[in-house]
Amino acid sequence: MSSRFNNKKSNGSQNNVSKIQANGQMAKNTHLNKSKTQVFAISSTAFSVCLALSTYTLPALINPAYANGPKGGVVVDGSGDISKLDATTTIINQTSQHMAINWDSYNVASNERVQYIQPNSQSVSLNNILSSNGSVIAGNIDANGKVILVNPNGIVFTQSANINVGSLVASGLSITPDDFINGNYVFDALENSINGDGNGAVINHGIINAATGGSVSLIGKQVENHGYISANLGAVNLAVGKQAVLTFEAGGLLGVRITDEILQEELGLDPALVNSGEINAKGGRVLLTASTSQYVFSQAVNSGIEHATSVVVHADGSFSLGGGADVINSGKVDVSSINVGGNTSGAGQIVVLGENITSSGYLLANVSADSTSFQAGNIEVHAQDTVLLTEQSLTSARGDVANGGAIKVLGDKVALLNDSVIDASGETGGGEILIGGDYRGENDLIRSASASYIAGNTHINANA
């Protein structure tokens, strides 16, 4: 079945399946091909994922013995020095553009502070942590440039952590100093060379702020964000895998490409990627990936709040269907427009891809009243198998004083339950909504569903 909704008036019928508004009437090309419409069973457990807020909490790390800051630091590449300003403050004075430090341990208590003084905002400091234990960051880390923290045994930012940097990479995967100095940002799960269990989890419960145009990346075998991450006009990356390749640009981190598959049965972690916090990257981009470069998401869960101008997958902007596992959004993903210093950006793009996708939260790509020169953004939800938009879910590419955007909800089976809302309305022109395929399935480039279900109290709006 395929359904198409746009801003033109219609001579069609409503088919008693949804509430649809377009110029105050039923949208033209709003066709529900009854010969292909099937009612398919929707199991309440089909999309269930255990949202344990800390499936891997590094309990052994949470004790008062990690005071007195990072210890045993040795500069192994580049130039700089490490000093103690006082009992609670560690100063890293970096004098080369790239500097690598090996640490015996790297922990920051709640009353402690680590400050990086770097030549400029593009300077990078690699911190390889050689301890057999994970790292606990409960205090402050400040830097005017880019800081990379690497601990294959895990990194936890507690609720008292307060990070203010140009850009941050916190990784449970390893990188060699040679790769770092040569600009090859390849992070691997090097089990044979790890001192410790190498669980590689990165968990944030605190506050992480990147400078405007900067980036925050959490990379590991398991990644959880339950705190607050901010990178306005920059990038936020949460990536799970056994290998990741990062690319830096002048404006911050360009993206993450996962190059080797992570296997749930190998790691014993379900789900591997969890966001139940808030990510604010308006005017920027958010990447959520827990898969190989061949796939898009594998066990990715968003149950928090994300703000960005684009949610993409690969460093080159490409994405593909096939394989993968479930994607679950029970929070808020927001790529709406933002006004910074009197300059307003347009709305961005949300792309959600996976084997099965369920959304009970918000997907937003709206344009606000101060963005008259832009139209609303695009939202694409593509599942290899089933898409489920549950009760109270909101999928919106609305233009308050502009044109509505485009929304595509595609899969082999597509279901919209009671009180779910899809809104592509616009003050100056309605947008386009495709559910289960294009009009009559005539566009071979857009996948047609084998079965679609739209509940009687669904709200679909493409007003002009």
- Cβ atoms within 10 Å, residue 459: 16
Domain that holds residue 339: 3-461
CA distance 433 to 31: 12
- Cβ atoms within 10 Å, residue 444: 8
What the block records as the tokens of 313 is 């997958």
Q: Which of 384, 366, 459 has the alpha carbon at shortest distance from 417?
A: 459
At residue 88, the pLDDT reads 94
At residue 359, the pLDDT reads 86
DSSP track, 252-283: EEEEEEE-S---HHHHT-SSSEEE-SEEEETT
Alpha helices in 148-270 (DSSP H): 177-181, 264-267
Q: Which of 374, 464, 375 has the alpha carbon at shortest distance from 428?
A: 464
What the block records as the tokens of 204 is 């944030």
Q: Fill in the DSSP letter of residue 25.
A: B
Rounded to two decimals, the pTM is 0.68
Output the CA torsion sign for 391, 360, 43, 424: positive
Report how far Cα 152 is from the mean position of its chain's Cα atoms.
Answer: 22
**């198409």: which residue's tokens?**
4
CA distance 32 to 34: 6
At residue 403, the pLDDT reads 87
Measured CA distances, 319 to 248, 352, 387 (Å): 20, 10, 18
Beta-ladder partners of 372: none
Helix, coil or strand: residue 378: strand
At residue 186, the pLDDT reads 81
Measured CA distances, 292 to 278, 310, 324, 410 (Å): 25, 20, 9, 22
Cis peptide before 64 (omega within 30 of 0): no
DSSP track, 345-374: PPP-EEEEEEEEEEE-SEEE--B-TT-TT-
Query: What's the residue count for the chain?
Result: 464
CATH no. for residue 407?
2.160.20.10
DSSP track, 54-117: TSS--GGG-SGGG-S-SBS-EEEES-EEEEEEETTEEEEEE-SSEEEEEESB--B-TT-EEEEE
At residue 297, the pLDDT reads 33
User: What CA dihedral angle connects 99, 102, 108 and 113, to 10 degrees?
Assistant: -30
Report how far Cα 382 is from the mean position of its chain's Cα atoms.
Answer: 16
Q: Which of 208, 215, 177, 172 has the alpha carbon at shortest distance from 190?
A: 172
Measured CA distances, 242 to 58, 247, 282, 313 (Å): 19, 17, 29, 17
What the block records as the tokens of 76 is 């192994």
User: Could you report the average pLDDT of every consecutive run of 10 residues in the chain (464 residues)?
Assistant: 42 32 32 37 32 37 61 95 94 96 95 97 94 93 97 94 96 86 78 60 92 86 81 74 65 46 38 58 58 35 51 38 54 71 69 74 78 72 86 90 89 93 91 87 80 91 85
Q: How many domains does the chain have?
A: 1
Q: Which of 353, 347, 255 has the alpha carbon at shortest distance from 309?
A: 347
